[in-house]
């Protein structure tokens, strides 16, 4: 399990709080919507309606890397909304830059779409699960747009 602790200062309410993001160990997917041997990581993030997100990969390392990218995009979104992120121990600000998180998202979606090592029907299932995972949210809408292009 990976735990990332940080201080989050939200400019809207001018309060800061100690937050943490947890990436659980990769687990093999047994049955369900994906019947091939895939792995998933559970990612727990603060400040969302749905705190637990399942992130998939072809093997445990892919699942962990994809979960790490998910966290990166999540934190980038916080920065873009004007939040400040600092070290947990000394509240020293993280060195980071604001960047459009959807550029990274589009690259990842294109990577799934063009991955020839995954059979076509499985790629479609993965993309459909991604669409369903975020529902009717800003990220969900952008994700659907990226998948459908």
- pLDDT attached to residue 31: 65
pLDDT classification of 47: cutoffs 50, 70, 90: low
Chain segment 15-37, per-residue pLDDT in tens: 788 888 999 989 888 766 555 67
User: Is the pLDDT reported for residue 105 higher than 80?
Assistant: no
* Tokens found for residue 30: 């047994």
Residues 79-107 have a mean pLDDT of 80
44 class by beta-carbon count within 10 Å (0-12 exposed, 13-18 middle, 19+ buried) = middle
* Residue 34 confidence (pLDDT): 54
Question: What average pLDDT does this structure show over 81-89?
Answer: 86
Sign of CA pseudo-dihedral 111, 69, 39, 35: negative
Statement: residue 143 has pLDDT above 70: yes
Mean pLDDT of 40-54: 79
Is the model's pTM score more than 0.75?
no
């Amino acid at each position: 399990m990976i735990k990332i602790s940080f201080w989050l200062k939200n400019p809207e309410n001018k309060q800061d709080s100690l937050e943490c993001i947890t990436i659980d160990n990769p687990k093999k997917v047994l049955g369900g919507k994906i019947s091939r041997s895939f792995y998933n990581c559970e990612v727990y993030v603060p400040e969302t309606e749905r705190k637990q997100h399942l992130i998939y990969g072809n093997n445990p390392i892919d699942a962990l890397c994809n979960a790490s990218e998910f966290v990166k995009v999540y934190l980038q979104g916080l920065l873009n909304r004007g939040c400040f992120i600092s070290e947990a121990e000394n509240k020293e600000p993280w060195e980071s830059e604001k960047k459009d998180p959807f550029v990274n998202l589009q690259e990842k979606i294109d990577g799934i779409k063009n991955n020839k090592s995954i059979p076509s029907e499985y790629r479609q299932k993965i993309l459909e699960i991604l669409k369903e995972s975020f529902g009717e949210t800003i990220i969900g809408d952008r994700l659907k747009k990226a998948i459908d292009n």
